[in-house]
Structure 1
């Protein structure tokens, strides 16, 4: 019993710090913002290491693959699983919004947003997958371009053969070093997450009590249930009872980090460590997780359906019929799997909602505000969904006994004693 509690010690410390921070935010309100810099420091440390970590992890994974066929199998399985889980998340929220109608009785003043820029699809595609200058790759705003570059480096290293082996070892060494940097940063996590959550609750308290309380009261329970029940089921499909045990032993730290930071990219380093502890093969976890942080968003699928249902209620539109629901699921899938990888993709997804349903442009700020209210649990589902997706990819590629084929490390305890 003591050994089991020790394995969960650090996640429990993180969750406790979030609860304490939330209580501070509720008690002191906006005054709690005075400790936000302590939280911003933690998030900046994570963001600071994301770019080199993504580069080294993806390029080393690709460079050390046995063949390009292996990369193709991983990518194909990954996309299939991303789409299927996105559809399941969307259908889950459709059912929830049918049972608990949204937007009725809500009084929100309509304001027309200013300076809404229009960008062509071709321009979006070019800016998403490429950058005009090498130095632009050093920004997390161009994460998909960095991933493309990392894959190309990995492929080129593998194709170079014997001459490329020293560089492949350098890439692998860099990947391990930056994972160690993450472990060092996580010593500060309890303070950083507690402070950030105190400021977050202090700022958002009024919004959650006001007109958006409906969205808050529906989304949070649905997201938590999808996380607890849906991901447990996915973990069971991936690895049976052993898969469920390993998933829950390692997922609480990424979940707490995502909940506190509101960023899949900030959670990526911790997620990679969790997947390693679970036993996901190196090439799978270092391909699926960075891409998943960019283009796999079950939590965003949930919120897209909620936005649609909410705005239908506000404008007294008929939220019924198979056509309405199929369109909503299609938009959610675009928002959660496709557009999430595009810079400003969330805003584009909201514009698609407004355009396809013929809503007035004033609906845009309403939809955007919902996104702010539900962001913490949405990010938690987004980030942890990548981890369980990597388990499903492992199951599909390695067979039912994949968890017995690797040496599993014990979860990092992050002892806070010196």
Structure 2
């Protein structure tokens, strides 16, 4: 029997290859890889809303008991986690960053913002639904099926959605997951060729290190809480999350990591109905990692430009952004692009101009760290999944 290479080794190989190709091969070859990765990315963006409709609908529909309660519980936990992450990030950043930030640090990163490689060609495959519409549609159909099936309507629509979910599942396991390494490789080729990969490591490693540490500490606390509530070993839960964390590092997309994250949730012992409901849902509403990164980057930019910033201005910002970022998953940098119209809440009306130089620096700084924020997002999703599964089994199902 041949030994198959696991997903995590494939992802690590893809990252290394991406860096080597971007560093040593001609731009023409790099653009070939970026083109292939871009085509896959376009297909992925088409599939993501369908994935959300299929999985979230069936996840809610199969929860014949307490679907509405679980929806409220999940959304509340996800939103609270996002707010706490942002507030904690500001407190840590505002106390640490002044010790090592200096003028010119962010300028070197901003210089790489327009150096991305262009594809030789691209395909236009507009999604049938945008992400937010898919989430709302899944809520409506799922909740109605959960409450009406067998009472006011028959099983025809339920069976149709179940078959549709099976089709999407087949696409994910035969096309999406096997091609994820290509997607990741293309991402790192572009980042390396444009100078982002080494710029962030050599210039902003201190800011970068603080943000990563905040992500990891926050994740550890989330899994510690999940383990305590579910009476499961937090270390085991964290180990089970490694494939999802690694995938998110490469894809820079919470939504693109859903297939792998579902496998991680299964390893955590989360039942099928709950994981099919919580994982796709939280991929779109739980943005703790992105909020930690955005808040830290905004603090760094304010310190660099001597702009006033306080917890009083940060809290309204993260409360607003916690809702606005629902539409951001699916593409690298989606969270910061969603945040642009709201940065005036921190930077002020003039400095917060989305087309201005300060916001441009903010975008460049964030995108270089986007992978780790996304990885924190999706890993936290499964911590929530474990908690919701425990609540379901102890208080709702029983």
Deviation at 1:7, TM superposition (A): 11
TM-score, length basis structure 2? 0.78
SS at match of 1:65: coil
Alignment size in residue pairs: 364
- The answer for the alignment partner of 2:150 in structure 1 is 161
Residues 287 and 29 of structure 1: is their aligned pair in 2 closer, same or farther, counting only changes over 3 Å?
A: farther
- The answer for the alignment partner of 1:189 in structure 2 is 180
> For 2:172 and 2:202, how far apart are their aligned partners in 1?
38
CA deviations on 1:53-92 (whole Å, 9 max, x unpaired) are: 221222223333324xx12211221122113322332244
Residues 150 and 325 of structure 1: is their aligned pair in 2 closer, same or farther, counting only changes over 3 Å?
A: same
- The answer for the alignment partner of 1:138 in structure 2 is 128
Deviation at 1:192, TM superposition (A): 3.8
The answer to whether the aligner puts 1:174 opposite 2:164 as a matched pair is yes
Aligned mate of 2:70, from 71, 74, 91: 74
Q: How does 1:69-148 map to 2 (within 5 A)?
A: 70-97=66-93, 98-101=95-98, 103-106=101-104, 138-139=128-129, 142-148=130-136
- The answer for the alignment partner of 1:130 in structure 2 is none
- The answer for the alignment partner of 1:199 in structure 2 is 190
Residues 83 and 240 of structure 1: is their aligned pair in 2 closer, same or farther, counting only changes over 3 Å?
A: same
Equivalent residues of 2:265, 2:275 under 8 A apart: yes
> For 2:34 and 2:391, how far apart are their aligned partners in 1?
43
Equivalent residues of 2:105, 2:204 under 8 A apart: no
TM-score, length basis structure 1? 0.74
CA deviations on 1:27-72 (whole Å, 9 max, x unpaired) are: 45967444223433443443343222221222223333324xx122
- The answer for the alignment partner of 1:222 in structure 2 is 214
Equivalent residues of 1:25, 1:202 under 8 A apart: yes
CA deviations on 1:193-237 (whole Å, 9 max, x unpaired) are: 23432332332246426865554343344334444x334424423
> For 1:356 and 1:194, how far apart are their aligned partners in 2?
35
Q: How does 1:3-42 map to 2 (within 5 A)?
A: 9-28=6-25, 32-42=30-40
Equivalent residues of 1:85, 1:298 under 8 A apart: yes
Aligned mate of 1:208, from 200, 206, 228: 200
CA deviations on 1:162-181 (whole Å, 9 max, x unpaired) are: 65213312322322332232
- The answer for the alignment partner of 1:393 in structure 2 is 388
- The answer for the alignment partner of 2:318 in structure 1 is 332
Equivalent residues of 2:89, 2:292 under 8 A apart: yes
Aligned mate of 1:62, from 47, 60, 63: 60
Equivalent residues of 2:56, 2:281 under 8 A apart: no
Q: Which ranges of structure 2 fall in alignment gaps of 5 or more residues? A: 111-125, 329-333
Q: Which ranges of structure 1 fall in alignment gaps of 5 or more residues? A: 1-5, 112-135, 406-418
CA RMSD of aligned residues (A): 3.5
> For 2:335 and 2:313, how far apart are their aligned partners in 1?
18
Equivalent residues of 1:32, 1:199 under 8 A apart: yes
Deviation at 1:238, TM superposition (A): 4.2
